[in-house]
Amino acid sequence: MIFTPTKYQLQTVATGRVFNDEGWTLDDKQCDKPSMVRPIYEKKQLDVKKEACLGLYRYADWLPIKTMLKNPSEPITYKSEGLANHLGLNNLYITFNGWWPERKARMTTCSFKEMEAYSVCARLGDEQKNQMLVVASAGNTARAFAKVCSDNGIKLLLCVPQDNINALWFDKPLNPCVNLITTESGSDYFDAINLSNVVCEMDGYLAEGGAKNIARRDGMSTTMMSATTFIGRTPDFYFQAVGSGTGAIAAWEANLRFIGDGRFGTNKARLMVSQNKPFVPMYDAWRADSRAMLPYEAEQARKDAAEICAPVLSNRKPPYGLAGGLYDALKDTNGDIFAVSNDEANAAKALFEETEGIDIYHAAAVATASLQQAVEKGMVKADDVVMLNITGGGEKRFHAEHELYYLKPDHIFKIDFTKEEVERVLAEMR
């Protein structure tokens, strides 16, 4: 089909200022305090395209994109029976992101991070395509961007902690346009972010932007779009495990658009997000009713991150306190944060596979365990409409059905790397 770039303007959450996107705008330069910017789409009512081959681009009206890429996937929502019966819920809807062909779920990376990658890379204009996109990741995001960029010939440099590169598996060899550098064993996601920040100070490299990239958030918001259009209304509760909280922020923003759409009710889903103990910096800040993150020593953070069963949830510098960040999202929706132990997550992981028939990632199991906690505490009632965002699943089955190829690092940096060293290594790589 012929695609016309989506029409939108940007709005600064902190000030309300509306302005034009210059192509890869991440911040409002006229705003003097940290704030998200959001797209204000020309189309207020979402026209979901019927062609399944479009994947997430069926929701293109609310994606800030200039083109459509090859091989797109999308989230799939269905009404639960097995897990719902176990929990005593009459209206539990599962939005599944992963590999489950019987449910028409065909994310070959088995993670909803594909939604970020397909949206972010479709936002790239001619000017950005001349640069190398730089993405820092704890694993799943890197795999998703690598797949999408490889399939579409987009230059990509990944920055990943060395201990997480076993997550960089693929069902076919990658295009050489994808490169990988890592921080040494014992480092964490924040160290990889530091490395990416140094790279992005150099000419020819483009910072993907993380949570501040509107395309990343709106790509993730397709989970809420899938659920709401399937159910016919916005849910009462939204459950998801969070590392940065970006997916929950995205769900909140989509919910606000649905209210503006006028056809899906005026309900704001309560955001019920969860972290994996002992790495719970946002949980601690929320329990203290603090917009600011509490002090968290780097050594302790690395130790805690090494102990959790869902390492993708180990972001030390999440978009929590800025205007339009997770703190605001939780306050606006009367939401809450849960803390889930490894034992609780592992039990929930087994329960989901037993009741629903598919394996899920530990991060998704953390979300499932938090739903169990909410039901046990009486926070969620039997007739509430609940959306459970299963952010990754089907990997066990996918691995059994496919030959796998692993991406190897082009260079491993120590934690105390220097800018000069990074410049020299990248010059040799290019």
What's the pLDDT band for 139 if we cut at 50, 70, 90?
A: confident
pLDDT in tens, 377-398: 999 999 999 999 999 999 999 9
pLDDT of the residue at 402: 97
The class that CATH gives domain 76-111+216-399 is alpha beta
The phi, psi pair for 335, rounded to 5°, reads -85, -170
- Across 82-91, 125-134, 305-314, the highest mean pLDDT is recorded for 82-91
Identity at 256, one-letter amino acid code:
L
Tell me: the pLDDT tens digits for 160-169?
999 999 999 9
User: In the structure, what pLDDT confidence band is assigned to residue 52 with cuts at 50, 70 and 90?
Assistant: confident
List, for residues 208-223, the tens digit of each pLDDT value. 999 999 999 999 999 9
Q: What is the pLDDT of residue 413?
A: 96
Q: What is the mean pLDDT of residues 229-235?
A: 98
Which pLDDT belongs to residue 189?
85
The sign of the torsion formed by the CA atoms of 326, 327, 329, 334 equals: positive
Element (H, E) at 140: helix 140-152
- Tell me the mean pLDDT in the region 266-295: 98
Q: How confident is the model at residue 334 (pLDDT cuts 50, 70, 90)?
A: very high
Q: Kindly tell me if the per-residue pLDDT of 4 is higher than 80.
A: yes
Are 62 and 254 within 8 A, CB to CB? yes
The domain locations on the chain are 76-111+216-399
Residues of the chain with pLDDT > 70, as a percent, come to: 100
Which helix (H) or strand (E) covers residue 37, if one does? strand 37-41
Long-range contacts of 196-205 (CB under 8 A, 24+ apart): 196/134, 196/135, 196/136, 196/159, 198/417, 198/419, 198/422, 199/134, 199/157, 199/159, 199/422, 199/426, 200/134, 201/419, 202/422, 202/423, 202/426, 204/131, 204/132, 204/430, 205/131, 205/132, 205/134, 205/157
What's the pLDDT band for 246 if we cut at 50, 70, 90? very high
pLDDT, mean over the chain: 96
pTM: 0.95
Does the pLDDT value for residue 32 go beyond 70?
A: yes
φ and ψ at residue 52, rounded to 5 degrees? -60, -30
Buried b (16+ CB within 10 A) or exposed e, 395-404: bebbeeeeee
Rounded CA gap, 369 and 364, in Å?
9
At residue 127, the pLDDT reads: 85
Q: What is the pLDDT of residue 194?
A: 94
14-29 per-position pLDDT tens digit: 999 999 999 999 999 9
pLDDT, tens digit, 9 for 90 and up, residues 96-138: 999 999 999 999 999 999 999 999 999 999 888 889 999 999 8
pLDDT at 126: 87
pLDDT at 129: 84
Specify the 3-state DSSP secondary structure of 380: coil
Return the pLDDT at 309.
Answer: 97
What pLDDT was estimated at residue 1? 62
Above 80 in pLDDT, residue 2? Answer: no
